[in-house]
Structure 1
Amino acid sequence: MSHMVEVRRDEYVLIMQLNRPQARNAINQEIAQQLAAALDELDADPSLRLGVLTGAGGHFCSGMDLKEFAATGKRPYVGDRGLAGLCERPPAKPLIAAVEGYALAGGCELVLACDLVVAARDARFGLPEVKRGLVPGSGGMLRLPARIPYHMAMEAVLTGDLYEAERWHALGLVNRLVEPGQALAAAVQLAHQVAVNGPLAVRAAKAMITQSRNWRPEDMFDLQRPRIAHVFASEDAREGARAFAEKRAPVWQGK
């Protein structure tokens, strides 16, 4: 099998690069299978603390391979992970999107499935499925309205228009804007800012933020309490306190 997802490590960070530049990294079944395997590695390996997802050839991802879809009628899904092995079941560990060029359709939905987004100033985002008689069914219609105002999300989905990274940054969908060609480096730098923190705490914090969005105010602390108790009882919590008192960097064990 060809390497359509290049995977490498940078200390605690797993970098996953979609590697089909001749098709602007359009998602086919090979990419989906290989990305799912990389995400499994990210969650399973205790030495890894978070991941970075990017694309080769100056573009992030142009979405599902429509030529393959037209020929087979099959979408590049992997089990319960959904499109590209990511959209319906993101990893438990944080994932950062590093976006250059186009992030369109399913490619835009990959970005929405990530926890943080670094984008080049000239990057373009969009959900143009309606222009092809389709709908953004891998998170675009579900995640986008939870991130930006209702009317803006409706406009993006119903028109299928493209938006510049500056606009998405203004709407709060992009964390950091960088110069063209610098998205991956900036995303890795951001990843290392996260990776120096307690891995157990980071993973629990991501879980709480993603799970609690629709909790009722009267229930939220009762629901949170059992989900974070293990963090306060952990060896990492004690190590963090000792390191603070001793004015040194903590040595995390992830337990």
Structure 2
Amino acid sequence: MDTTDPAARVPARGAGEEGALLELRGHVAVVTLNRPSALNAVNSALSTAAGAALERARSEPDVRVVVITGAGRAFCAGADLKEIARGHRVDAPEHPDWGFAGIAQHWVAKPTIAAVNGFALGGGTEIVLACDLAVIDETASLGLPEVRRGLFAAAGGVIRLQRQIPLKAALEIALTGEPVPAARALDLGLVNRVAPAGTALAVALGLAEKIAANAPLAVQTSKRIVHRTYAAGSDWDGDVWKINADGVREVFASRDAREGARAFAEKRQPRWEGR
């Protein structure tokens, strides 16, 4: 889709402001957190808008991958503490099930990629942890500084961090509150790519296009099985193979599976239908 088309970039409104923007780029949806003057700190409007944007991306049949990034010089500065100090909620009032920023507990079957274009501490890092993949600008950093404010990383930070990196490294990050530079985040496996300054979104879009070129049903089933079996015990257990067998029944009998074999035999690019 031509991104110069006004229909390709639409506001996902929340509480009277454009808290997030949704842009459709062919098979990739870009969700942009859109409070640049507040470093994209999360208030109720942003949570509502970002969650609505994810729902739109989830329901669009042509969208195969979702990229989440921030407007301006920050990815996300976490919760808007000024709003919290005023006694205002910062979640999406009608969808508390979506979690922090409308993202942290919002399951989307399609792969999600965080394009960390800048500052991303606290809740910003928790959004990154909620995404399947992550690309970070070489000048950016991650971290969970909540303990320095008498809090803890309750939007998934202390749940997901140790599932994605070694335990002692996770505890150091959670207990010291110190930032994690981009290079260290890559070494730990918190991110998949470190992008040259100013190119995080472009690199993330390149990664998204590689995924979007694959069969969408196969990609979504792979994501689901990886997440469901990650902490399910031994890979010799019957339960994990039951989950795998369910995926086999869904994917291997699909039209896309037949198309993949046919395209290979005919030496052409496959034409995926997502079924």
Q: What TM-score does the superposition give when structure 1 sets the normalisation length?
A: 0.97
CA distance in 2, matches of 1:174, 1:215: 23
Matches within 5 A, 1:215-230: 215-217=232-234, 218-219=237-238, 220-230=240-250
Contact 2:44 2:89 survives alignment (8 Å): no
- The match for 2:179 among 157, 162, 184 is 162
> SS where residue 14 of structure 1 aligns?
strand
How many equivalent residue pairs?
255
**Alignment-derived partner of residue 81 in structure 2:** 66
- Equivalent AA in structure 2 for residue 14 of structure 1: A
The one-character-per-residue Cα deviations of 1:200-255 (angstroms, maximum 9, x if unpaired) are 00010110111111223222212321133110010000000000000000001111
CA distance in 1, matches of 2:267, 2:213: 15
**Alignment-derived partner of residue 220 in structure 2:** 203
- The match for 1:136 among 150, 153, 176 is 153
CA distance in 1, matches of 2:22, 2:246: 35
- The match for 1:46 among 61, 64, 67 is 61
**Alignment-derived partner of residue 35 in structure 1:** 50
Higher relative contact order (CA 8 A, sep 6+): 1
Contact 1:64 1:76 survives alignment (8 Å): no
Measured on the aligned residues, the alpha-carbon RMSD in Å equals 1.1
- Equivalent AA in structure 2 for residue 242 of structure 1: R
The one-character-per-residue Cα deviations of 1:155-192 (angstroms, maximum 9, x if unpaired) are 11111111101000001111111111000011111100
- The match for 1:12 among 1, 17, 27 is 27
- Post-superposition offset of 1:147: 0.9
> SS where residue 47 of structure 1 aligns?
coil
Contact 2:47 2:91 survives alignment (8 Å): yes
Identical pairs, percent? 44
Long gaps (5+) in structure 2: 1-15
CA distance in 2, matches of 1:53, 1:19: 11
Contact 1:108 1:127 survives alignment (8 Å): yes
CA distance in 1, matches of 2:72, 2:89: 26
**Alignment-derived partner of residue 93 in structure 1:** 110
Contact 1:90 1:113 survives alignment (8 Å): no
Matched, 1:82 2:102: no
Please identify, of 231-240 and 214-223, the stretch whose mean Cα deviation from structure 2 is larger.
Answer: 214-223
- Post-superposition offset of 1:73: 5.1
Q: What TM-score does the superposition give when structure 2 sets the normalisation length?
A: 0.90
